[in-house]
Each structure stands twice: as C-alpha cells, then as structure tokens.
Amino acid sequence: MKRICIVGISGKLGQYMLKHALDRGYHVNGVCREKSVGKLDAVMAEHGDRITLFPGKTNDRAVIERAVKDCEGVLTVLAPWGVQQYSSGTAQAVMDFAEPDARLIFSCGWHITLDGKDQYSRTFRTLLAVASKLTRWLRLVEIDDQVLACNLIFKSDTKWTVVRGSDLEEGDSEGLPVWSEHVQDPVLASNKTRRIDFALFMVEALQNDALIGKAPAICGVRTESAQAHAAMA
Ligand SMILES: NC(=O)c1ccc[n+]([C@@H]2O[C@H](COP(=O)([O-])OP(=O)(O)OC[C@H]3O[C@@H](n4cnc5c(N)ncnc54)[C@H](OP(=O)(O)O)[C@@H]3O)[C@@H](O)[C@H]2O)c1
C-alpha cells in the first residue's frame, strides 16, 4: 500500500487531508502534538490499521525523520505558532528527511508570494501588517516565519508545491478548487475556499506533477469568480 505522511494531522486541515487520503487508499503516517493525539480517537478506532501516529512537535527533527521514512508524499500544514521558527523548522526537517523523490506539499495563505508578482489590496496589506505585529508582540504567531519557511522551500531542489489558501470556510465539499499563479487573477476574486476542498487540493497535488515547483493560489470551484471564469472559457 502507498504510504504518505501528514505533518499537522490533528488540526482542521490535517484531519480533512487524512479523510481524503484514506478515501484514496493510502496508509498515513501522521505527526501531531502529544496533547492532540486524542482528537484522532474516532478515526483511529475505525481506520487505525492504516494510520501510524508519531506524537511530537512538528519542528522536532527526530520525530519528522521517523515519520517521513518510506513515504512517497508528505503533506505539511505550515503553522507559524509561537516565536520559535515553528514553520521554518518544520519545513526544513521535512525537506531534510523526506525520501529523495517524495512529493512535498505545503499549506500556507495568500500572503506568500513565489515571484513577487502578487498584488494585494491596501486592506489586505494593512490587516497583514497589523496581525503580524500584534501576534508577534503577543508571542502567539510568527507570520514572518511562514514567509521564511516558504522561501526555504522555493530555493530547495525537492519536488515541492506550496498551496496558498484563500479565506476559508466550513461546509461540504464543492469539488477541486480552481487555482492561478497570482492572487489578483480574476478567477480568484471571490477569495473563499471550503477547508475540506483546500485539503482535497493538497491530496490531489500528490499525483499532479504539473504542480511541482509551483505555488498555486486557490479558490472554491463554486464561487462567483470561478463560475464566471468557467462560463467564459
Ligand atoms: N485559517 C485560515 O483562514 C487560513 C487561510 C489561508 C490559509 N491558511 C493556512 O491553512 C493552514 C492551517 O489552517 P487551519 O485553519 O486549518 O489551522 P488548524 O488546522 O486549526 O491548525 C493548524 C495546525 O496548528 C497546530 N497548532 C495549533 N496551536 C498550536 C500551538 N500553540 N503550537 C503548535 N501547534 C499548534 C494544530 O495542531 P493541534 O491539533 O496540535 O492543535 C494544527 O496542526 C495553515 O497553513 C494556514 O497558513 C489558513
């Protein structure tokens, strides 16, 4: 059976990715904090024979080394928690220890830019600047570290894809999100994706080599902007 690893498996995005991965027949290795293992009790009871958990912080290099061994793909939730290089430590460990040919898929938000050609509204820039300063001052979140993590990924020679999520909402799946290279592209104007479909995009990317070396910005396939774009095509 094909084996993949999900780093950050107990979070909202992680649990959706786990569901999609199980649906596709993968055996899943998962990394999550020790205190979060209990969040997976229900799924472990049903599918425990196809899930192997590696409790630990996602930037613990020894944990990541064991978890990604023999995995053909690694899905990583980049979460910049605390002031401890959490995202960049996680990304570097995944890149250092994953199998040489493994597909590496990382999650982040629209604020990350691969080529500097993304254009952001003044409101977006202001909110990001305020949130970055405030959360860092509170020592809760280090948004700059997610930027650093992605820059490390972009420079690596691994088979990476960085999936840039729009604003997220809960709800049933609407199908595979649309994507584009830059956040200002009209197809993305609605700026809304179901979290379950963000996860779907990440899991589908494992099999999509056209996404290697790309940072797709995604948006729900049923949103107004995606539908308008489809009608024009
Ligand atoms: N939320 C949005 O609107 C939004 C928009 C665009 C992109 N994104 C991207 O989506 C991804 C995850 O989003 P999400 O909303 O689904 O997040 P989430 O699943 O709620 O949390 C992400 C991860 O952070 C971990 N975590 C939470 N608190 C922590 C702490 N204090 N220390 C260490 N780890 C902690 C969680 O693990 P535990 O289970 O152990 O708590 C989980 O694995 C991120 O890459 C983010 O950049 C989010």
The neighbour count for residue 89, using CB atoms within 10 Å, is 19
Q: Is 73 helix (H, G, I), strand (E, B) or coil?
A: strand
**Which tens digit of pLDDT belongs to each residue from 62-97?**
999 999 999 999 999 998 776 678 899 999 999 999
Dihedral (Cα; 83, 86, 88, 91), 10-degree rounding: 180
Give the percent of the chain with pLDDT over 90: 85
**Which tens digit of pLDDT belongs to each residue from 154-203?**
999 999 999 999 999 999 999 999 999 999 999 999 999 999 999 999 99
Question: In this structure, which residue's CA is closest to atom 21 in ligand 1?
Answer: 11
Chain-centre distance for alpha carbon 206: 12
Q: Does the beta carbon of 102 lie inside 6 Å of ligand 1?
A: no
Residue 55 has pLDDT above 90, yes or no: yes
Residue 114 one-letter amino acid:
L
Q: What are phi and psi of 161, to 5 degrees?
A: -140, 130
Mean pLDDT in residue range 46-62: 97
Q: May I ask the CATH architecture of the domain 3-232? A: 3-Layer(aba) Sandwich (3.40)
Contacts of 165 (CB under 8 A, 6+ apart): 107, 108, 109, 110, 193, 198, 218
77 Cα to the center of ligand 1, angstroms:
7
5, 12, 13, 39: which to mutate for ligand 1, most atoms within 8 A of CB? 13
CB 95 within 8 A of CB 8: no
35, 107, 142, 164: which to mutate for ligand 1, most atoms within 8 A of CB? 107
Residue 180 one-letter amino acid:
S
CB 177 within 8 A of CB 198: yes
Q: Cα(85)–Cα(148) distance, rounded to whole angstroms?
A: 9
Q: Does the beta carbon of 128 lie inside 6 Å of ligand 1?
A: no
11 Cα to the center of ligand 1, angstroms:
6
Q: Cα(74)–Cα(40) distance, rounded to whole angstroms?
A: 19
Cα torsion angle, 42, 45, 51, 57, sign? positive
Residue 42 one-letter amino acid:
A
Which token pair is 224? Answer: 């107004």
Residue with tokens 């979070």, as numbered in its chain: 11
- What's the mean pLDDT when you consider all of the chain? 94
Residue 47 has pLDDT above 70, yes or no: yes
Domain ranges of the chain: 3-232
85 Cα to the center of ligand 1, angstroms:
15
The neighbour count for residue 230, using CB atoms within 10 Å, is 12
57, 81, 147: which to mutate for ligand 1, most atoms within 8 A of CB? 81
Q: Cα(75)–Cα(216) distance, rounded to whole angstroms?
A: 15
* Predicted confidence band of residue 49 (pLDDT cuts 50, 70, 90): very high
**pTM for the model:** 0.96
Please give the number of the atom of ligand 1 that sits closest to the Cα of 14.
19
Q: Does the beta carbon of 33 lie inside 6 Å of ligand 1?
A: yes
Q: Are strands 178-180 and 217-219 parallel, antiparallel or unpaired?
A: antiparallel
